[in-house]
Amino acid sequence: MTNVTSIQDKHPPPIRSQSRPELGLGNVRPLSIGQVKIGFPVVQAALSGYSDGPMRIVARRLGASYSLAEVLIDRFVLDATNQHHARRHLTITDEEHPVGGQLMGSNPSEFAPAALRLVAAGFDVIDINFGCPVKTAVSGCRGGYHLSQPDVALEIVSRTRDAVPDSIPVTLKMRRGIDDSEESRERFFRILDGAFARGVAAITVHGRTVEQRYVGPSNWDFLREVKQHAGSKTILGSGDLFTAQACLEMLRDTGVDGASVARGAIGNPWIFAQANALAAGRPLPEPNLAEQRRVLEMHAELCLKSSGEKQAHLTMRMFGIKFARLHPQFTELRNAWAVCRNMSAWREVLEQWYPSG
Q: How many CB atoms lie within 10 A of CB 31?
A: 23
Residue 297 counted as domain residue: yes
Mean pLDDT of 87-109: 91
Residue 72 counted as domain residue: yes
Residue 105 to residues 90, 162, 183, 247, 307: CA-CA distances in angstroms? Answer: 17, 17, 23, 30, 25
Instruction: Check: CB of residue 24 under 8 Å from CB of residue 355.
Output: no
Residue 104 counted as domain residue: yes
Residue 182 scores a pLDDT above 80: yes
The confidence score (pLDDT) of residue 86 equals: 64
Residues 270 and 346 reside in one and the same domain: no
Residues 180 and 275 reside in one and the same domain: yes
Residue 184 scores a pLDDT above 80: yes
Q: Report the candidate in 1, 16, 5 with the shortest Cα–Cα distance to residue 284.
A: 16
Query: Of 259, 280, 301, at which residue does a domain stop?
Result: 280
Residue 302 counted as domain residue: yes
Structural domain harbouring 201:
28-280
Query: Of 280, 309, 335, at which residue does a domain stop?
Result: 280
Residue 177 scores a pLDDT above 80: yes
Residues 115 and 56 reside in one and the same domain: yes
Residues 124 and 249 reside in one and the same domain: yes
Residue 24 scores a pLDDT above 70: no
What is the value of pTM for the model shown? 0.90
Residues 276 and 293 reside in one and the same domain: no
Residue 5 counted as domain residue: no
Q: Is 134 helix (H, G, I), strand (E, B) or coil?
A: coil
Share of the chain above pLDDT 70, in %: 90
Residues 107 and 241 reside in one and the same domain: yes
Q: What is the CATH number of the domain that holds 301?
A: 1.10.1200
The confidence score (pLDDT) of residue 18 equals: 45
Residues 104 and 122 reside in one and the same domain: yes
132 is catalytic: yes
Peptide bond into 12 cis (omega under 30): no
Q: Domain tally for the chain?
A: 2
Per residue in 245-294, pLDDT (tens digit) is 999 999 999 999 999 999 999 999 999 999 999 999 999 889 999 999 99
Residue 113: enclosing H or E segment and its boundaries?
A: helix 108-121
Residues 233 and 301 reside in one and the same domain: no
Residues 169 and 194 reside in one and the same domain: yes
Q: Name the catalytic one among 132, 247, 303, 340.
A: 132
Residues 208 and 305 reside in one and the same domain: no
Residues 196 and 74 reside in one and the same domain: yes
Peptide bond into 98 cis (omega under 30): yes
The confidence score (pLDDT) of residue 28 equals: 85
Least confident of 22-36, 85-99, 154-168: 22-36
Residue 203 counted as domain residue: yes
Query: Of 258, 280, 302, at which residue does a domain stop?
Result: 280
Residue 233 counted as domain residue: yes
Residues 232 and 303 reside in one and the same domain: no
Per residue in 133-153, pLDDT (tens digit) is 888 888 888 889 999 999 999
- Position 21 confidence tier, pLDDT thresholds 50, 70, 90: very low
Instruction: Check: CB of residue 123 under 8 Å from CB of residue 97.
Output: no
Instruction: Check: CB of residue 107 under 8 Å from CB of residue 120.
Output: no
Mean pLDDT of 221-240: 97
Instruction: Check: CB of residue 189 under 8 Å from CB of residue 152.
Output: no
Mean model confidence pLDDT for the chain: 90
The confidence score (pLDDT) of residue 7 equals: 34
Q: What is the CATH number of the domain that holds 33?
A: 3.20.20.70
Residue 6 scores a pLDDT above 80: no
Share of the chain above pLDDT 90, in %: 78
- Exposure b/e, 268-295, CB count within 10 A at least 16 = b: bbbbbbbbbbbbeeeebeebeeebbbeb
